Structure 1
Amino acid sequence: MTVSRLAALCALISVLALPATAQETSTEAVLLPHVTVARAAPAELVDQVTVSGSTTPRQEVLIFPRISGYAYVSLNAEAGDVVKAGDVLARLETRVLEGQLAQAKAEAGSALASVGQARSQIDSAKATLVNEEAKLKRAQQLSQRGNLSNADLDAAQASAEAARAAAASAQDGLGVAEASAQRAQAAMDIAQANLDDATITASVDGLILERSGSLGMIAGTGGDPLFRMARDGVIEVEAEVIETALGQINVGDPVNLQIAGVGAAQGRVRLVSPSVNPSTRLGSVQIEVLDAGVIPSGAFASGNVIIDRHEGLTVPASAVLSDGGETYVLRIGEDGVVQRVPVQAGLLTGQKREVLSGLDAGDVVMLRAGTFFGDGDRVAPVFPDAQTQEQTSAAAQGADQ
């Protein structure tokens, strides 16, 4: 006879040796179906919205060369560098620009000299005019006395008119000279600005994200920027969320993030988009990353926005059933009798389901196979921990045999 058969025989003899009432109770317990159960217990419940997107600068700064047609002779920054406003990022070849500035300065100097000459001409013309007007006055006095011929009087008048015209012309000449000087000054300012623009600097503090230029490349004002920067080095997550959940998210909600290449990080909702993309039916949220250190721009990110967190009465999610018209659980009494109890279900967090009404803490409910039982059925409840211990014990006994 095998050991297992011997054990079974001993168990049968033990049962037969019991009083009649005890035998009935033991036999009934053996015949009852065993079901896995759990107790309703309070637990923390978390309501969250799943989001996904990419990391992006909060404020991107694009740096283009302001002049074109000149080669890069130095590039002083690379992707990943942290720079301050005013730091030199690149330089262009300046020989032609320096020559243009020198020429503009010479022309400005010549224009200023012309202004001085025009002013001198005005002074000379004014002196001539005063002299001719004095001569005309004396000629008029002599003519009135009959001591000057009409011809001489006409000549004096003509000389005075010529002096007035010369003075007016000299004044106009000053206006022309001053206009030329202004043009020359503007040309010099432009030449100086072009020379200054040959030195490309950072416009703000920040992090260099990308550099597109190379030494010897001819600069152009169109196309891709020479540098892309994140102002102040701030990188955040721009995530998308389904439109039905967008209204549940508020600024300041905490976010559990997972960023490719970085790992887990904590975040906070900084901005919720007021609009939804009509094609994708998705809205966007901007999430500030709080504790991840250096974050690469453009990395994939996903996470959960925590929109509610509270304590509530819970049971395992598999214990909550529905027949289409009612949500219920199967509660097991102390005598093992099954009772169908309507409940109001709340949040689902992981494997736990909130029960808003219908149960009390400590109530025992059936975990699985609830559809096979109904009111009044009797079962033998087994808690998961006890079931695990029984299975472990049985496995150990089998190994001993």
Structure 2
Amino acid sequence: MSRFSVILLLSGVALVAAGAFVGIRALSRPAEVPMANEPARVPAVTVAEAAEREFVQPVTFSGTLVPREEVLIFPEINGYRITRLDAEISDRVEAGTVVAQLEDRTLHLDVAQAEAERARAEAAVRQAESQIASAEAGLAQAQQTLERAKALRERGTATQVALDDAIAAERTAEANRDSALSGKDVAEAQLRQAQNSLDIAREKLADAKIKAPVSGVISARSGRVGSIATSSVDPIFRIIRDGEVEAEVKVVETSLGLVREGQPATVEIAGLGPVEGRVRLISPQVDPKTRLGTVRIALEPQDDLRAGLFAGGRITVDQRRDLAVPATAVMTAADGAYVLRVRDGVVERRSVDPGMIWQGWRQIGSGMAAGDEVVAQAGAFFDTGDAVRPLRADEAAPLAEERSAAQAEAAR
């Protein structure tokens, strides 16, 4: 037998002897029996205290920023060429500011002609007044002649023919006076007509200067220099009255009945963030195709609000303080909703009347009192009478971290 074989044989014998020794010591050790009075391990649960919290019932929406009131600027007179545009998009203008000019050469001529017509009418009135004065003087003379003729006829010194002539002359003078009065009426009517024509001509001349009817911001400019102004096409300008922009949003028909004018709203605007506002108007109609209703929300003034930006957010239709527990603490069974209240380390099932959910909390209408502690989560694993070790959230967090660390260590 070689020296190497002898070494292998001796090594095997040594291993067998060592194994036998370990087995004998194990058999000789007394068995570990748990003590009869050792307490069972109590599971730890996270609990939360019922307390009053603020609850908000929101109605969500989406929509677009639109002008609260958009004013269209059309020419008051048609058929005249645009010679100048004095405003650009985004310009802020005041009411009465000239924003465009129309060709007015012929309008100046119309005013001059109307002024000449009025001057002629004024001269005709003066002439009629002169004729009235002359006719009244002739009538007065004819009346005096008639009175003398009557007196002479009574004394027998005048013939009947002379009296008849005096009577006829008085009647003719009276007719001339009435005709002169009528002539003045006609002349005055012609003067009024001439004045009206002059007023119209002057108004048309003034309308050649197109002015902003309201104060606001120019949102669109369709007019072009050299084009013919007419009210039958697009307006020359569009103005957002007072620059005021609001949100026009859509709300589903099932929530529209909860919305009221004046309710607060938070509008998330693309690129700008949240802007506060209030419901200003609720449309009386719902779109039969989309089943959406339109709501207008007035926004707090802000310079960078622009029509066309996307707007989403919520309307607060109800806001109140009420008793609350974590939403995860409320469970549902066949007989209704319930929570697991923990008192003196023992679980008790309590029926509750839950309400709205807001930011992870559930409103409790009845069944709980302020200060009660409930199982915050994993309540489905417990029932009435179970013993637990309650941990508040601030106590449960370090324990969870320790467990995670232990699991990570065991996995290595």
1:67 aligns with 2:59: no
2:403 to 386, 390, 393: 390
Q: Does residue 20 of structure 1 match 2:20?
A: no
Match of 1:10 in 2: none
Residue type matched to 2:220 in 1? E
TM-superposed CA distance for 1:209, in Å, is 2.7
Structure 1 contact 125–170 (Cα < 8 Å) conserved: yes
Which whole-Å CA distance do the structure 1 matches of 2:60 and 2:36 have between them?
57
Range 140-149 or range 250-259, more displaced: 140-149
Would the aligned equivalents of 2:152 and 2:158 in 1 still touch at CA under 8 Å? yes
Among 197, 205, 213, the residue aligned to 1:203: 213
Give the C-alpha shift of residue 321 in structure 1.
1.8
Residue 278 of structure 1, CA deviation: 7.8
CA RMSD of aligned residues (A): 3.7
SS at structure 2 position matched to 1:20: coil
TM-score after normalising by structure 1: 0.77
| Structure 1 pair 124–137 and aligned structure 2 pair: CA distance change class (3 A) | same
Write out per-residue CA displacement over residues 171-202 of structure 1, whole angstroms, 9 at most, x where no aligned residue. 11111000000000011111111111222222
How far is the alpha carbon of 1:109 from its aligned partner? 0.7
Q: Output aligned runs, 1:272-287, within 5 Å.
A: 273=282, 275=284, 277=286, 279=288, 284-287=294-297
Q: 1:271-305 CA deviation, whole Å, 9 max, x = no partner?
A: 35484538466555443322643311243322122
Cα deviation code 1:15-65 (max 9, x no counterpart)? x9987249976xx75xx9x89745345454333222333333334433332
How do residues 2-401 of structure 1 correspond to structure 2 at under 5 angstroms? 20-21=34-35, 37-40=46-49, 42=51, 43-143=53-153, 151-242=161-252, 245-246=255-256, 248-269=258-279, 271=280, 273=282, 275=284, 277=286, 279=288, 284-290=294-300, 292-306=302-316, 307-310=318-321, 312-315=323-326, 317-330=327-340, 339-356=348-365, 357-358=367-368, 361=371, 363-365=373-375, 367-368=377-378, 370=380, 374-375=383-384, 383=396, 386-392=399-405, 394-395=407-408, 398=411, 401=412
Supply the AA of the counterpart residue of 1:341. Answer: R
Partner secondary structure for residue 128 of structure 2: helix
Q: Distance in 1 between matches of 2:31 and 2:141?
A: 157
SS in 2 for 1:114: helix
Structure whose alpha-carbon radius of gyration is higher: 2
For the 8 Å contact 2:261–2:282, the answer to whether it is kept is: no
Contact 2:85 / 2:100 at 8 angstroms: preserved in 1?
yes
Deviation digits for residues 316-367 of structure 1, max 9, x if unmatched? x2332212431023456776x7654322222201333233434764735262
Structure 1 CA distance, aligned partners of 2:354 and 2:145? Answer: 117
- Residue 255 (structure 1) shift: 2.0
Aligned length: 375
- The 1-side partners of 2:132 and 2:301 are apart by 75
Is the 8 Å Cα contact of residues 118 and 170 (structure 1) preserved in structure 2? yes
Contact kept, 8 Å, 2:118 with 2:198, in 1: the verdict is yes
1:48 is paired with a residue of what secondary structure?
Answer: strand
Retained in 2: the 8 A contact 1:273–1:284? yes
Task: Report which stretch shifted further, 350-359 or 377-386.
Answer: 377-386
Following the alignment from structure 1 to structure 2, what is the Cα–Cα distance between the partners of residues 35 and 376?
15
| Structure 2 counterpart of 1:226, one-letter code | I
Distance 2:146 2:325 in 1: 119
Structure 2: state its 5+ residue gaps: 1-29
Distance 1:261 1:213 in 2: 31
Unaligned runs of 5+ in 1: 1-15
The answer to whether the Cα contact below 8 Å between 2:50 and 2:374 also exists between their aligned partners in 1 is no
Mapped partners of 2:92, 2:221: distance in 1:
13
Give the Cα separation in 2 of the matches to 1:21 and 1:98: 120
- The TM-score with structure 2 as length reference comes to 0.76
1:63–1:227 Cα contact (<8 Å) kept: yes
Answer yes or no: is the 8 Å Cα contact 1:343–1:359 preserved in 2: no
Are residues 137 and 359 of structure 1, via their aligned partners in 2, closer, same or farther at CA, if it must alter by over 3 Å? closer
What secondary structure does 2:228 align onto? coil
Contact 1:54 1:300 in 2 (8 A): yes
Could you tell me how far 1:120 is from its partner in structure 2?
A: 0.9
> In structure 2, what is the Cα distance between the partners aligned to 1:325 and 1:105?
94
* Cα gap change, 1:331 to 1:19, in 2 (>3 Å): farther
- Partner SS, residue 308 of structure 1: strand
